Amino acid sequence: MQKSVLKTKEFFRAVSGRPLVRTLVIIAAVCAAAALIPNFLKFSNLMNVLRQASVIAIPAIGVTMAMITKGIDLSTSGVIVFAPMCVVVLYRGGVPFFLCALCGILIGILAGLLNGILIARVGVLPFIATYVSGTIMLGLTMVIGNGGSVTGFPKGFTQIGNGSVLGIPWSNLIMLVCVAAGALFLAKTKHGNRIYALGNNEAVIRMEGLSPEKLLIAIYGIGGFFSAIAGLLLSSQLSTVHPTQGNSYQLDCVAACILGGTSMLGGSGTVVNSALGAVGIAAMRNALNLLGLHPYVQNLVLGSLIIFIVAVNVLLKRRERRQQESFHIRRAENG
């Protein structure tokens, strides 16, 4: 009798996992927003929201991977300004644009690798290592641009951020491609599975004969890659590089991952969910803008939301762990 009860409880938990709950909540929130805010569901507005979300969702791919391994990446805001600044400065110096863009992406990767080395080889805590590297990059950006914005991208470049094809902005398409690539990599490839292993059970990787350190460095390198792409995308949307353009993304990317169910304690999270979280954050800012609320209200709401979601997340994990422990104990007792 007890065994069958336990079995149905397991079954229920497996089917109605947290992602399902989250989807329901999102649908509820969207309905509430649509009902209360005029123009929210207009096609142009939704496309706008997705366009604004793309700059959050793309770096969130890297942040998700970092969080799965119990780390974090706060350097996104730094790369988002530093990479395009280097690109535009090189371009103004006469280097062909294709090479400049390549350089920009390379710089992002290098920054990410540096983060990874600091975290994996030197042993600095992830949040401070990435926070500091992000700040250094921001500082360098301000030195290069003398604190101001720098413009001078080729004409076609700004079309990427602002143009559309068949009514769908290029930004959204780029976001889809990156998210799809990231999701497939994480879920379907062997390397991707190893990332989850890093977060859950590091020993498995060593048994395979691989080095967890090298994998960790690679993860942050990937994060830098995506942050650089997001930076170029943002600059193409703004047609300039402004040294503060990345400021809000530091927290927004992390919030997007958390909203998407990536746990702060590591081991779980998917790219697609984080991307949905990014859309959620962008939608929330958009809703507050459309309502004409003061920006400080945006701050109050976002700050509270983040703390609330993480608190719920952590409390749920603790309850789950306790339930698992008692389940195992009961199982052991029952023989």
CA geometry: angle at 248 spanning 113 and 36, to 5°?
A: 135
Contact 237, 161 (CB under 8 A): yes
Question: Site mask, another protein, residues 202-241, x = CB under 8 A?
Answer: --------------------------------x--xxxx-
Instruction: Please give the torsion angle defined by the CA atoms of residues 132, 121, 58 and 227, in that order, rounded to the nearest 10 degrees.
Output: 50
Q: Which is nearer to another protein, 207 or 312 (CB)?
A: 312
Q: How far is the CB of 232 from another protein (least distance, A)?
A: 14
* Secondary structure percentages of the chain, helix, strand, coil, to 5: 80, 0, 20
DSSP 90-138: HHHTT--HHHHHHHHHHHHHHHHHHHHHIIIII---HHHHHHHHHHHHH
268 makes contact with another protein (CB under 8 A): no
165 to 204: interface string for another protein, x by CB under 8 A: ----------------------------------------
Question: Strand 168-169 vs strand 164-165: parallel, antiparallel, or unpaired?
Answer: antiparallel
Closer to another protein by Cβ: residue 52 or 274: 52
Contact set for another protein, span 6-35 (CB under 8 A): 16, 21, 24-25, 28-29, 32-33, 35
Between 177 and 316, name the residue whose CB sits nearer to another protein: 316
Which residues, 46 to 85, sit near another protein by CB under 8 A?
Answer: 48, 52, 55, 72, 74
Binding to another protein by residue 158, rule CB under 8 A?
yes
Output the CA angle 311-315-320, nearest 5 degrees.
150
Least distance in angstroms from the C-beta of 24 to another protein: 7
Of the candidate spans 121-129, 204-212, 217-225, 267-275, the one that interacts with another protein by CB under 8 A turns out to be 121-129
Give the torsion sign (CA, 258, 262, 23, 53). Answer: positive
In angstroms, give the least distance from the CB of 59 to another protein: 14
Rounded to the nearest 5°, which phi and psi values hold at 150?
Answer: -125, 130
Q: Is 102 in the site for another protein (CB under 8 A)?
A: no
Name the β-bridge partners of 165.
168
Q: Does 120 bind another protein (CB under 8 A)?
A: no
Backbone angles phi and psi of 211, in degrees to 5 = -105, 120
Closest to another protein by CB, 268 vs 289, is 289
Name which position in 92, 206, 214, 318 contacts another protein (CB under 8 A). Answer: 318
Q: 183 or 287, CB closer to another protein?
A: 287
Minimum separation from the CB atom of position 185 to another protein (A): 26
Tokens of 311: 């608190």
Angstrom distances, CA of residue 201 to CA of 50, 138, 313, 317: 36, 35, 21, 17
Binding of another protein by 161 (CB under 8 A):
yes
CA-based nearest residue to 273, from 281, 292, 75: 281
Residue with Cβ nearer another protein (3 or 294): 294
Residues 127 to 146 in contact with another protein, rule: CB under 8 A: 127-129, 131-133, 135-136, 138-140, 142-143, 145-146
Binding to another protein (CB under 8 A) within 282-311 occurs at 285-287, 289-304, 306-308, 310-311
Q: Find all residues with CB under 8 Å of 80, minimum gap 6, and list them.
A: 55, 59, 227, 230, 231, 234, 245, 246, 249
